[in-house]
Amino acid sequence: MPRATAVRASGTTHAAGKPGEAAFFDVDNTLMRGASLFHVGRKMYQRKVFTIREVAGFAAKQLRFTFQGENLKDVHAVRDAALAFATGLSSEDVRTLGEEVYDEMIESKIWPGTRALTRQHMESGRPVWLVTGTPIEVASVIASRLGLTGALGTVSEVADGRYTGRLVGEFLHGPAKAAGVQALAEKEGLDLQNCWAYSDSYNDVPLLTLVGHPVAINPDARLRRHARERNWPVYDFRSGRRAATLGLKSATVAGAGYGLWRGFSWVRDR
């Protein structure tokens, strides 16, 4: 099957850095609070594509995702519904929808600590790529708005400018993320042992173990245990939680500082 399509953001510039280095960020619960795909479903309801009952189901799944971590069954349910109802829509309309979703629902949910990490990498001259199961149209908007290098996302089939309701290749999740990053590394001449990857989900262990510098952000319970056993850095930017760091890397000082400040503020307020 075709691998994930990487879309490069326009107008992005990098400082001089070491050749072969890059950073890869998951989006949902890593870069932003909650799941971006659920917001796409909410926006489609506003466009009268979904019913209120369907959106209520999306909202329940979003709450579970935010507080319990990734549930693949829920993510697939929203994906399948979005694919079915997007059939016949024009690709240009979906791109516009992505812009609206970012402005109205995603921008305010970006974790400041993770945003600081992306800036640190960009200022060090490392390309920063988003790697997410979110539709590539939405993922590329997020990357562009944040001034990142680009995005790898799930690709839907388009024929005559309209969506067919089928995927091109796989849903970008789990091992498919690792395969997408591997293909991008070959294309871009990256040395994955000199690259970073960030995620909240145990399902992304294939991606995290692919690089030399894996980092867990807002991890679910399984990933937290996995990271601690391997002495990976762990950052938790969620309100009311301890910000823990293990094995700090030079490129992640900004994010760690933010996390420690949040942890200190939480203790002080109590």
Positions marked catalytic: 26, 28
**Torsion (CA) 76, 81, 87, 89 in degrees, nearest 10:** -100
The Cα–Cα gap between 248 and 251 comes to 8
Strand order of the β-sheet with 23-25 is 5-8, 150-154, 128-135, 23-25, 196-199, 213-217, 234-235
Residue whose structure tokens are 């997007």: 86
- Cβ atoms of 30 and 109 within 8 Å: the answer is no
Q: Between the CA atoms of 205, 206, 211 and 213, what dihedral angle is there, to the nearest 10 degrees?
A: 0
Residue 2 is classified by DSSP as -
What's the rounded Cα separation, in Å, for the pair 151 and 66?
A: 22
